[in-house]
């Protein structure tokens, strides 16, 4: 399949799905977390597809790889926040494992995309 837009990338599509999952999962967090963990988790989740889209729009492969690095960093940030949310009983263990599985899937796809880009300029 020819990639004409960042929207054609499986990594972006899966990351968008993850954003929706994070938004739904944080809806019932305690109200005091509105500007804390809720905002941080949503921001980290949103950064993943946003970084993919931004990088794809860049002029060079090197810039795209750089943006994919940001996406991976945001994914690690989000994974950490999911673990903390579970430890604070904001999400149950089953939901936490499900979300971590989704983040792992997106991370694996991102690493594959990075590898496919190689070291081309």
- The pLDDT tens digits of the residues spanning 22-35 come to 999 999 999 999 99
Is the Cβ–Cβ distance between 6 and 52 less than 8 Å?
yes
Predicted confidence band at 4 (pLDDT cuts at 50, 70, 90)? confident
Compute CA distances 61 → 64, 77, 119, whole Å: 5, 24, 8
Task: Supply the CATH number for residue 74's domain.
Answer: 1.20.1440.60
In a domain, 70, yes or no: yes
Structural domain boundaries enclosing 91: 7-117
Token pair for residue 79? 């994974």
In a domain, 29, yes or no: yes
Token pair for residue 95? 């939901």
Count up the domains in the chain and report the number: 1
Separation CA 50–CA 62 (nearest Å): 17
Separation CA 22–CA 44 (nearest Å): 10
In a domain, 36, yes or no: yes
Predicted confidence band at 118 (pLDDT cuts at 50, 70, 90)? confident
In a domain, 1, yes or no: no
In a domain, 113, yes or no: yes
Separation CA 66–CA 51 (nearest Å): 9
In a domain, 26, yes or no: yes
**2 has pLDDT over 70:** no
In a domain, 72, yes or no: yes
In a domain, 2, yes or no: no
> Percent of the chain scored above 70 by pLDDT?
95
């Amino acid at each position: 399949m020819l990639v004409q837009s960042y929207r054609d990338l499986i990594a972006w599509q899966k990351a968008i799905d993850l954003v929706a999952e994070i938004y739904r999962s944080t809806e019932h967090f305690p109200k005091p977390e509105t500007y804390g963990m809720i905002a941080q988790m949503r921001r980290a989740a949103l950064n993943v597809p946003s970084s993919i889209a931004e990088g794809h729009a860049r002029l060079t492969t090197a810039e795209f790889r750089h943006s994919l690095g940001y996406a991976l960093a945001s994914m690690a940030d989000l994974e950490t926040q999911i673990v903390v949310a579970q430890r604070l009983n904001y999400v149950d263990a089953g939901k936490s494992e499900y979300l971590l599985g989704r983040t792992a899937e997106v991370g694996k796809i991102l690493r594959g995309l990075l590898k496919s880009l190689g070291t081309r300029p």
